[in-house]
Structure 1
Amino acid sequence: MIQAVGLTSAPRGELPPAVDDLTFEARPGHITVLLGGAGAGKTTALRLILQLERGRGVALFRGRPLHRIPNPARELGVLLGDAPADPSRTARTHLRMLSAAAGVPPTRADDVLDLVGLSGLADQRLGEFSRGMDRRLGLAAALIGDPHTLVLDEPADGVSRREAAWMHDLLRGYAAQGGAVLTTSRDAKESARLADRVVTVGEGRLVADQEAADFARTRLRPRVAVRSPQADRLATLLVDESQRADHAADPVVARVIEVVRESGTRLAVYGSSCAAVGEAAYRHGILVHQLADEVGDTGPVTPLERADGRPSGPAAGTPATPALSADALPAPVPRPMVRVLQAARAAIAPKGSDTVSDTLTLPVVAATVPAARPARSSAPAVEKLAIPRLPAPGPAWPLRYELRRTLSDRAGLLAAAASVLLSLGLALLLARHGEAPMSRVLMGWPRELPFPPAALGAGLLGALAFGQEFRYPALAAERGTVPRRLGLLIAKLLVSGAAALLLGLFVLVADEAGVRSLFGPQAAVSITEWPLLAAGWMGLLICCAWAGVLAAGVFRSTATGLAAVLAVPVVVLPLVQSAVAEPAARSLVGLPGRLGSSALYRWPSGIDQGVTVVMRLVTQPVGSAMALSLTLLVCAYALTMFRGWAR
């Protein structure tokens, strides 16, 4: 259930707000449609409800604001525009990634794919999907967490009539299970067919809040659609004959039919019938190409004027939405476990029992004639799944999400493979010349390069961890943004660090194997300080990956994350070298021994060597520059996270 009270968007300079004091509710078990033309404020109202727009007002989901819901994916499913998904992923991997973020089992992905009729395309890449398939995928992503509420922005926009009919049946089945559906539409006839309640919005204000039957009676009326090459002459004759007939029958009360020209050859005749129009055309020898009964939209209703001069509130004769409060909320409805049967997925044909034509019409403001409620086709067969209660999300869910995201990211895998191949090529060149030390040969790091290729590859892996989130913000569709949560950050740091370690290990193994195979076993000489080399090498890659993660999370881009990694050797390292002179303030020689002698307990054997390695790494200019960069990025990330909470 959604309760929206006093939604008002932020001012837009001298322009009025896009949404002004909008109040309505979407009840469980019902489909509520926000109806309005382009620029009426429908999408802005949804974004205010989802806290994506700045403004005033209250939006409650079963009595709780969105920021008080611990796991929004379990409370509401959202589809705003196209499904934000990486086109290189398959439908199954995309939904399994989202299932981990929502804290549901991975088998839920197959359930929702079967629900929306995409089970046969589960392994197809999303970039190959059509518009209708993309809309189905968006619905599957919205249903992945088994939500109580669906919020959809024109879900049938741009799809065929068959796809739209199928989607409407799915939404009716969802509502039949007790779920609340809030959607938007620009078509009055579509709203009358789909909705249980229609909330009409005009210029950001509430125009009318009506039951579907009342809406159809007051906004829709029968008409006759006529196409003729002599449309102007036919219109004049129809009006003249109607006036003469009405005056002859009752000169005091004359009822004049209404004729509206919608195009060069198309007329819409209100207050008449196909028989009367056809007989008039036949009598005067007018050729008619089309003659059909339709139901048309009477046009928008003028809002009421308030005492302060601002038009607001429902139309005359329409009861206003009562004041809402959290104390007056009904008991929570059961969780809707919706699953359409196999026969329902195939039933995506137009509804033959509809009395509403699908022909678009122009709005006409006129007196209305009561019209019958358009007939609805039966909702698809649905059944409740006997699935146990889904577990609450724990600390492992962000880690599982990041693991699935990383393993399904083709860009990251290609970056890692390119880093290994480039490092191998440089290692072979260095070994051939025989001038570089073996440590640089194994790392593939010529002195001319500020960073080895593997370090840049690790930084790119880290930058992709957040950069792909902002490019395809599918993680938090209910908020439209990427959440900067501590658990998600820790998961990305852990996974990117592990990926950097694996990348470094592959580079060392591949470079040594390549050198031995081409130049013989004697080419790979032993390294005396291998503990220092291994620790420094792995530390460098992990720090580069973490710098990429933090920079991409702060600047919301993969490119800026990689640029921050490149800035360490190019910008930060020269500054550190110029600020810190070579002779240190105090020599670090013998520091491990002094620390061991001052400790309360005797250190185990080998600790002195480890402390020496760590101190030598920290005092290196590269290590100091990387530590300084990570410190600055951590502070910047914390600042952006706190600013997001303050909003």
Structure 2
Amino acid sequence: MPTGDVLAEARDLRRAFGGRTVLDGVSLTLRAGEVTGFVGANGAGKTTTIRLMLGLARGEGESLFLGRPLNAWGAPGRIVGAVLGGIAGHPKHRVRAHLRMVAAGCGAPDARVDELLETVGLAGAAGLRLSQLSLGMAQRVGIAQALLGNPPVLVLDEPANGLDPHAIRWLRDFLRAQAAEGRAVMVSSHLLGEMEQLADRVVVLSRGRVAAASPVADLLSRVSTRSVVTVQTPDLPRLERLVRERGGRLQPVGGPSAHITGLDRVRVSALAAEGGVPLHWLSEESPSLEDFYLSIAEEEFSIS
């Protein structure tokens, strides 16, 4: 399918437990050739959203995969592959045998198992029992299992949990490669910094509601206006006047140092040069995607 085609979508998902609203009108789309990061703090409702989308929990709203509900497809494993944490297999079963059993259920040949074991780098571990796998190896087996039916949609719930940096990098590169093949990939995570490197688009979930949904670059451009410039100068009063005239704000932080908001470091540098203000230090710190999420969460809390 062409890149950008909508392969899966959730519409107005709602869910309540014991009178407490867990999801409140969550909608999102997954597009071919893109990694969609589904981010939010633990308890924001990410797993519940995924379970509703896959038909593993009850709630309101609808989810469509290739234009149809998942239960309308005769072989759901050929439409969407999911990694929801852990491997649903007997601990004594060996990796290859486990995957062959799952493959039989979705109509995939045994050769597909060996192909995927090579793809995820576990050909040498095919004879291990599931109970012998490290966390990183188990995650790779789960991904291989999800891909057995060669589905166009791949959904992973917190796949980086507990992984070491090497395993996280492998996972990031692997998922980018899956999107490059035309799949729609959805990854939920509370590690927002990781999404800056992995995702094309981000859906930010806060307290059961979608707080933002856009390309990562757009979100980062929104937070870049909140960057903080740190300066050191022997003439803070004159620099403060110049900054204020250009719509910025200077906040002294002790001695010759100050923080400036509302202007980036290039504009501050130009102002100082034009006004004859010597600068002994100039640096800029831009907020991250995590900073953006925290600001959204605080805003929601203040209006709840």
Tell me which interval the TM-score lies in, with the shorter structure as reference length.
0.7 to 0.9
The alpha-carbon deviation at position 242 of structure 1 amounts to 9.1
Query: What per-residue deviation string (whole Å, max 9, x for no partner) do you get for residues 501-553 of structure 1?
Result: xxxxxxxxxxxxxxxxxxxxxxxxxxxxxxxxxxxxxxxxxxxxxxxxxxxxx
- Give the alignment's TM-score, normalised by structure 2: 0.79
2:11 aligned partner:
5
Matched, 1:299 2:292: yes
CA contact (8 A) 2:233 2:280 kept: no
1:570 aligned partner:
none
The Cα RMSD (Å) is 3.2
CA contact (8 A) 1:36 1:42 kept: yes
2:237 aligned partner:
244
CA distance in 1: counterparts of 2:217 and 2:39, whole angstroms: 15
CA distance in 2: counterparts of 1:270 and 1:163, whole angstroms: 39
CA contact (8 A) 2:41 2:206 kept: yes
User: Secondary structure of the residue that 1:20 maps to in structure 2?
Assistant: strand
The alpha-carbon deviation at position 176 of structure 1 amounts to 1.1
The alpha-carbon deviation at position 293 of structure 1 amounts to 6.6
2:274 aligned partner:
none
CA contact (8 A) 2:248 2:260 kept: no
User: Secondary structure of the residue that 2:150 maps to in structure 1?
Assistant: coil
Query: What per-residue deviation string (whole Å, max 9, x for no partner) do you get for residues 17-38 of structure 1?
Result: 1111111110111111111111
Distance 1:212 1:279, change over 3 A: same
Structure exhibiting the larger radius of gyration computed from Cα positions: 1
CA distance in 2: counterparts of 1:95 and 1:89, whole angstroms: 10
The alpha-carbon deviation at position 270 of structure 1 amounts to 7.6
Matched, 1:21 2:46: no
CA contact (8 A) 1:89 1:125 kept: yes
Distance 1:125 1:216, change over 3 A: same
Which residue identity is paired with 1:249? Answer: L
2:55 aligned partner:
51
CA distance in 2: counterparts of 1:36 and 1:239, whole angstroms: 36
Matched, 1:188 2:181: no
CA distance in 2: counterparts of 1:132 and 1:174, whole angstroms: 18
1:539 aligned partner:
none
Which residues of structure 1 form unaligned runs of 5+?
225-234, 260-268, 281-290, 306-310, 313-647
CA contact (8 A) 2:223 2:286 kept: no
Query: What per-residue deviation string (whole Å, max 9, x for no partner) do you get for residues 146-189 of structure 1?
Result: 11110110111211122111111111111111111111121332
CA contact (8 A) 1:223 1:293 kept: yes
Which residues of structure 2 form unaligned runs of 5+?
1-6, 254-258, 270-278
Matched, 1:76 2:85: no
CA distance in 1: counterparts of 2:207 and 2:88, whole angstroms: 29
CA contact (8 A) 2:13 2:52 kept: yes
CA distance in 2: counterparts of 1:82 and 1:165, whole angstroms: 19
Distance 1:73 1:245, change over 3 A: farther
The alpha-carbon deviation at position 254 of structure 1 amounts to 4.6
2:218 aligned partner:
214
CA contact (8 A) 1:239 1:257 kept: no
1:160 aligned partner:
164
Which residue identity is paired with 1:12? Answer: F
- Give the alignment's TM-score, normalised by structure 1: 0.38
| Number of equivalences | 271
Please point out which of 99, 122, 125 is paired with 2:126.
Answer: 122
CA distance in 2: counterparts of 1:90 and 1:50, whole angstroms: 27
Q: Percent identity?
A: 36
Report the structure, 1 or 2, having the larger strand content: 2
Query: What per-residue deviation string (whole Å, max 9, x for no partner) do you get for residues 100-159 of structure 1?
Result: 111111111111100100001111122111111111111011111111110110111211
